[in-house]
Structure formats: structure tokens, C-alpha cells
Structure 1
Amino acid sequence: MKVLIVLSSLFLPLFMYFSQKWWMKLRLLFNLLAIVSALIFGNIASLSIHTILKDHTVFMTNIHSLFLNPFFLIFGGYLGVYILYRLLIITIEEA
């Protein structure tokens, strides 16, 4: 599983870069997915923190349940890949 995570963090941004060069509408799709992912990721995180503060529970123990939320992991993972994709675009354009 570790190898899959490392390889996907290397090859998915490259795939995104070359695919958006091939089909320009993918740029818009990747950007819209990033906006939706940021909204969902941020809302899940803030609602989890709000619940912990409201219930007066131990923050460091209960916040880790956030990492068990599959939506948090999926949308956070996409944001990580998207950031690498955008950094790749910036790096290639500035070279």
C-alpha cells in the first residue's frame, strides 16, 4: 500500500499535466474538483473540530477519528495530488 501511495503521488500529477495538455477542458475539470474538494475537506474538518469543542471532549484523542472519514481522506488526497499538479505546471512554465 505504501508503494501505491508513493507511486500515485508521482504519476497522477504527471498524468494530469499531460492529459490537460491533450484536452484543454480537463483544466477546468481539475480546477472545479479542487474547489469542491477544498470546500468538503474544510467543512468536514471544521465540523469535526466544532463537535469536539461543543462536547468538551479531549481534542487530541477525538480529532483522530477525523482520519477515519473516507470523504475526508478522498478529498484531502485529491487536494494533495492537485497541489503537486499545479506545482508541476508552475515549475515547467518558469523553466
Structure 2
Amino acid sequence: MNFMLIAGTIVIPLVLFFLRARSFAWIFDLLGAVALLLFLLTSGLSILEIKQMKTEFTTHIHEIFNSLLFLASSGYLGVYALYRLLLTTAQTRKNGHSR
């Protein structure tokens, strides 16, 4: 399982990077925006629930990690962030300078 997570973290951003040239870049960006929205909504609703229940213990917030929506959206955000870093690095190298 650990190997799959590590390999996926390396391979998936590379696949996204090479597929961007085939007009898929807008889909990756749209998925990133949707994932961010879902991540923020899931986090915010969980915090609101904890505040309303008045159970503000540090261990109670960790129940959010049981949410498949939270895990899926945050997982894509991590992969998407690596993809965007690869893209920025490639563009900087192509332009021949760094900021």
C-alpha cells in the first residue's frame, strides 16, 4: 500500500504533465477547482459541526479523515499541486531564466 501511494504520487503528476499537450490541461484545472471547493466545504462543515456540538477536542476533528470526499479531494489537490510545479518548472526552463 505504501509503495502504491509513493508511486502514484510520482507517476500521476508526470502523466498529467505529458497529457496537458493534448488539450487536457483545462480539465485538470477544472478538476483542481472542484477538488478545492469540495475540500473547503468538507473541512468547513466538519468544523461547524464540532462547534455546534461544543466538542472542541483536538481528537474530534480527526473524524474528517474518515470522509471519502475529503480524502479524494485532498489527494487530487496534492497531485495537482505537483503537476502545477512541474509545469512552472518546465516553463521557467523553456524561457531560460528564473524569477
> Normalization by structure 1: what TM-score?
0.94
Name the one with the larger helix percent.
1
Counting aligned pairs with the same residue, the percent is 37
How many residues align structurally? 93
Structure 2 gaps, min length 5: 94-99
Task: Tell me which structure has the larger Cα radius of gyration.
Answer: 2
Please give the root-mean-square deviation of Cα atoms over the aligned residues, in Å. Answer: 0.8
Measure, in 1, the Cα distance between the counterparts of 2:57 and 2:82: 30
Q: Stretches of 4+ moved more than 2 A in 1?
A: none
The residue number in structure 1 matching 2:97 is: none
Instruction: String of CA shifts for 1:3-38, please: whole Å, max 9, x gaps.
Output: 1111101010000010111x11x1110011011110
Distance in 2, matches of 1:56 and 1:87, equals: 40
Structure 1: unaligned runs, 5 residues or longer:
none
**Equivalent in the alignment of 1:38:** 36
Cα separation, 1, equivalents of 2:57 and 2:47? 8
Match for residue 72 of structure 2? 74
* Match status 1:8 vs 2:4: no
